[in-house]
Amino acid sequence: MIIFDPATPLEQMRKFIEEAGFPQDNRSIKEEKVNGKWNFDEACVKASEIGAITIAAHVDSNKGIFNDLPKGEARASAFTQKNLYGMQFKSPKVRDQIISILKNPEYERENELAFIRASDFHGADDENFGAIKSWIRFDSQKMQFSKKFIFSEIKEALRNPLERVADGPPKIIEIKKQLEMEVSVESLINEEDQSLFLKYICAFANTSDRTIVIGRDNYGTWKGIKFASKSEMEEKIRLLIEENIFPVPNTDTLIYQNYEDSFFATIRVFKGNSVFAIRSEDRAYILKNDKPFTATIDIVSRLAEANFLKKYRKYSITDYLRTNIRKLEGVSDTIDILSVVRSIEANSVTIKSLLFKYDEISLKFDETPEEFYSCPNGYSNGNVIFTTPNMPRLEDSYLRLSAPVFRLSLVDHENENEKLSGEKLIIVPRGGVYYDNNDDIFIFGETYPPIVLSKSEDYDGPDFKYLLAYLKSSLAIWYADRCLGNYDFRLFRVFRDMIIPKPYNKDIEFTIIEYVNRLLQMEEQFLDECNPIHDLTDVEERVNKHLEKSKTHNLKANKIMSEIDNLFFEMLKIDDDDRIMIKQRIKVLGLFDF
C-alpha cells in the first residue's frame, strides 16, 4: 500500500503508477490479475523517491508478506527494508508474532516499524465502518498553523510508533497529561534522586494525599527507567519505602510502559495518622509550596498531639478531650474528616469529567487603557471583563456572583475569535468564581489569567448556576482546602480534582438555582442604585451612602447564601456537628461565614 503526499502533482502520480506496470486501461479490471514490474524492495525505494509512504498491507492474510514470502532472505529483505514505514494487520495475534520475529538479529532494522490495525470495509451487514482502527498522535502546535502538515506529521509519527501510534485508545498519553502538574523524580538509580523521592513520600504522608511521578526529568521529559519488568520496578519502589521510612506509609503504586525497555511509575501517598520520618536522618518532612521541608520541633509536636487525639477520639468520654479535638479541627491539618469526605465523594463527580469546554484565558493588557473605569463593585457597560485576584468570600464586600469586577469598552480588537458568548463561569486566582451570560465578551486577567468554563455544544451536565452556587458554598471551599490543599480553585491541581455533587435531588437543585437567580437580580438592582452615588462630589457623603446601600444589600444576600449552604448540607446529609466543624474552618481561613 503506497500513500502519496497530497501535494504531489497528479501527473507525477500517474507516471509513477504506469512505470510500476499498471497502465490506465487495466487498473480497474478485477477479473484479471495484473502483476507489476517492481518487486517489494524496488516499490519501497521508488515510493520513497517521490516522498510517499509505503505500508505492507494485509500482513496477516494469505497474500501478505508474512505468509506469502518464504522464510529466508526474501522475507528478511522485506522486513528490514528501511523505506517500509509499517505493516497493516487485523489480528493482534499475528502482529505479536511478527514483533517477536523482528527481535531476531537477521531482522534488525534501522528504524521501528509501525503496526497499523485496519481492515477493508466491504459493506457486509456484520461490519462496522471504522470499527478496526489505529490512533496517530499529531503535534498540535504544528497542526494549528496549517493542515498541510498532516501528511508530514503522519510520516513522523510512523517513524516513532512507540510514542505516536496505537492500535487502541492512547491511554498512556492521556495519563501523562493528567500527571503534568504532579511532582516528579527522574530516576531511582542515584542517591540524590532516591533521597528526594523519600523526602517527598515522607512529606506527603505527613501533610496530604498526593502523587509523585518516577521517570520524568525536571524539564518534563518522560525518560522512563530501565527495568527487566514492571514487577521488578514495583519491588524496587516498595523496598525503598519500607526500608527507609518509619512507620511505613500507605501507598498505591502503578507502573506504566514508557518505551519498549523502560517504565515510569506513579505512587499515590495517603496522609497517615502518625508522624513519618526518614530512618537514616531521624527527621520528618512536611510539604510546603510543593517542596519537602524539614519539620520543626513545634510542627512535629503538633502533628503528634493531633494524631493522638484523632486516634482515640472514638474512645473519648470527657468534655475536655472533645473540646481539644474541636480546637485542633479548626487549626490543624489532621482533622478527622473521613465521614464528611465519604459523604461528599460518594455523591459527586470531578468537575473535569463533565462535558466542559474550558480555556485558560492567557491574555492580559500590556498597559491599562485610558478608558478603563474602575469601581469597587464594577460597572455594567462595556464588552470586556477584566478580572483581578479575589477570594471566594469577603466580609467587607458584598457577595458578588456576576462578572466582572471591572468592565470597560474595547473597540477593534485584533482577534475577534477571542470573544466568548453564552453562559460562562470565570475562576480567578485566589478562588473567586463569577457567572456571566453576555455575548461577544472579551476576558482579560491581571497578572495571572482566569480559567473560563463555557458550554460545549453537547454539554448535558448540571446547570451553570448550580455549579456557581456550589463553588461559592462553604462546603466546596472546605473540601478544596482540606482534601486538595487549597481553596484557590484557579490552581490547576485543585481545579483538576475538584468534585461537584450530582444533583440527584431535583427539588433541591431547582431551589438552589432559584436562589442564584434571585441573588443575580438583587445584584443587578444594587449596582444600578449605586451608580448615581459615584456622581456625588462630596466624598464623605458618597462613602456613607455607598456603605449604607452595601450593608442593606449584604444582609439580604447573606441570608440567601446561608440557605444555599444549608441546601448543600441537606443534599449530602451533613449532620449538625460536621456543619459546625466546616463553618469553623471557614472562619479560620479568614473567610466570611454567612
pLDDT for 391 equals 78
Distance CA 43, CA 83 (A): 9
Q: Which of 232-236, 313-317, 430-434 has the lowest mean pLDDT?
A: 313-317
Q: Which of 268-277, 308-317, 409-418, 468-477 has the lowest mean pLDDT?
A: 308-317
Q: What value does the mean pLDDT take over residues 466-491?
A: 85
Q: Quickly name the fold that domain 178-295 has.
A: 3.30.950
325 falls in which pLDDT band (50, 70, 90)? Answer: very low
- Does residue 590 or residue 263 have the better pLDDT? 263
Is 352's pLDDT higher than 60?
Answer: yes
List Cβ neighbours of 435 (8 Å cut-off, separation of 6 or more): 401, 402, 403, 423, 424, 425, 426, 464, 465, 468, 516, 520
Closest CA to 482 of 359, 345, 377, 593: 345
Q: What value does the mean pLDDT take over residues 497-512?
A: 83
Is 365's pLDDT higher than 70?
Answer: no
Residue 46: count of CB within 10 angstroms of its CB: 18
Q: What value does the mean pLDDT take over residues 72-87?
A: 82
Annotate 6-22 with DSSP letters as a single string: TTS-HHHHHHHHHHTT-
Long-range contacts of 302-306 (CB under 8 A, 24+ apart): 302/332, 303/206, 303/275, 303/332, 303/334, 304/275, 306/332, 306/333, 306/334
148 falls in which pLDDT band (50, 70, 90)? Answer: low
Is 116's pLDDT higher than 80?
Answer: yes
536 falls in which pLDDT band (50, 70, 90)? Answer: low
AA letter at 184: S
Which stretch of DSSP H or E encloses residue 44?
helix 40-49
- Does residue 200 or residue 101 have the better pLDDT? 200
- Does residue 493 or residue 125 have the better pLDDT? 493
pLDDT for 248 equals 87
Inter-CA distances, 116 with 60, 83, 119, 135, Å: 12, 16, 10, 9
pLDDT for 236 equals 92
pLDDT for 524 equals 81
pLDDT for 306 equals 58
Residues 254-276 have pLDDT tens digits of: 888 876 568 899 998 888 777 88
Is 59's pLDDT higher than 70?
Answer: yes
- Does residue 303 or residue 346 have the better pLDDT? 346
User: Length of the chain, please?
Assistant: 594
The percentage of residues in the chain with a pLDDT greater than 70, rounded to a whole number, is 70
Residues 297-310 have pLDDT tens digits of: 666 656 655 555 45
Closest CA to 85 of 110, 62, 104: 110
Is 523's pLDDT higher than 80?
Answer: yes
Are 412 and 423 a contacting pair, CB within 8 Å? no
pLDDT for 368 equals 38
Domain ranges of the chain: 2-166, 178-295, 301-332, 348-588
Cis peptide before 247 (omega within 30 of 0): yes
- Does residue 242 or residue 319 have the better pLDDT? 242
Q: Which of 205-209, 349-353, 357-361, 406-410 has the lowest mean pLDDT?
A: 357-361
360 falls in which pLDDT band (50, 70, 90)? Answer: very low
Give the three cell numbers for residue 6: 497530497
Q: Which of 57-66, 389-398, 453-462, 480-489 has the lowest mean pLDDT?
A: 389-398
- Does residue 516 or residue 496 have the better pLDDT? 516
Closest CA to 459 of 353, 552, 561, 557: 353
Is 373's pLDDT higher than 60?
Answer: no
- Is 0.85 surpassed by the pTM of this model? no
Q: Which of 58-67, 104-113, 149-158, 501-510 has the lowest mean pLDDT?
A: 58-67
Distance CA 387, CA 405 (A): 6
Give the three cell numbers for residue 250: 500507605
- Give the angle subtended at the CA of 122 by the CAs of 120 and 125, to the nearest 5°: 125
Q: What value does the mean pLDDT take over residues 174-199?
A: 88
Is 392's pLDDT higher than 80?
Answer: no
AA letter at 50: I
Q: What value does the mean pLDDT take over residues 215-234?
A: 85
Distance CA 59, CA 68 (A): 9
pLDDT for 181 equals 84
Distance CA 332, CA 325 (A): 10
AA letter at 273: N
